[in-house]
């Protein structure tokens, strides 16, 4: 076999085999400090915007450190993940701290709301609450399309044509 054709065959085999040997991205630990302050949720600091959105990928473990800096009680209620924990009153210098770990899966793709269940702290019902609320976004909002097996077939067809053009002798007129 011609050396050029041999190289082309190896490249083609590599392209065809690459989806089979590629590994998925590793899951990550996502650590976030969520602060209850002035009847609002904030990430990391009092002056951070209220009503935060925390983004994780499927397979990630969201490690929440939830602190109550208000001088009255709250709850951290996250219906989608079946979490409902009370937070006794605290202060900025002596907060009440609760740790919550949530593992997201592909079944959790979407945007999910958490809230405080104390009457008057969050208004409305379901995922349309307002007030002391925030969200966890699992996965991309609009994930890019993933190339499927048809992409591999197109590459294989192009490779076969390239080999045929190089290897098959041309007829003379």
The pLDDT score that the predictor gives to residue 140 is: 80
Domain edges within the chain: 29-138
Question: Are 96 and 88 within 8 A, CB to CB?
Answer: yes
Query: What does the alpha-carbon distance between residue 66 and residue 90 come to, in Å, rounded to a whole number?
Result: 12
Across the chain, mean pLDDT equals 85
pLDDT band with cut points at 50, 70 and 90 for residue 162: confident
Query: What does the alpha-carbon distance between residue 10 and residue 5 come to, in Å, rounded to a whole number?
Result: 9
Sheet holding 41-43, edge to edge: 41-43, 29-36, 61-68, 96-103
Identify which has the larger pLDDT, 146 or 121: 121
CATH code of 29-138, in short, is 2.60.40.420
* Per-residue pLDDT reduced to its tens digit, 91-133: 999 999 999 999 999 999 999 999 999 999 999 988 889 999 9
CA distances from 79 to 113, 141, 170 (A): 8, 20, 69
């Amino acid at each position: 076999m011609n050396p050029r054709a041999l190289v082309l065959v190896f490249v083609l085999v590599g392209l065809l085999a690459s989806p089979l040997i590629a590994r998925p991205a590793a899951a990550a630990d996502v650590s976030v400090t969520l602060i209850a302050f002035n009847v609002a949720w904030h990430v990391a600091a009092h002056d951070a915007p209220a009503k935060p959105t925390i983004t994780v990928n499927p397979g990630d473990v969201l490690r929440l450190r939830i602190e109550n800096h208000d001088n009255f009680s709250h709850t951290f209620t996250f219906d989608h993940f079946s979490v409902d924990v009370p937070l006794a009153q605290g202060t900025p210098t002596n907060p009440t701290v609760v740790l919550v770990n949530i593992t997201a899966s592909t079944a959790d793709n979407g945007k999910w709301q958490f809230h405080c269940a104390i009457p008057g702290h969050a208004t409305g019902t379901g995922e349309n609450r307002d007030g002391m609320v925030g969200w966890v976004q699992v996965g991309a909002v609009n994930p890019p399309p993933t190339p499927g097996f048809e992409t591999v077939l197109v590459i294989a067809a192009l490779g076969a044509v390239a080999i045929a053009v190089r290897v098959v002798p041309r007829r003379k007129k």
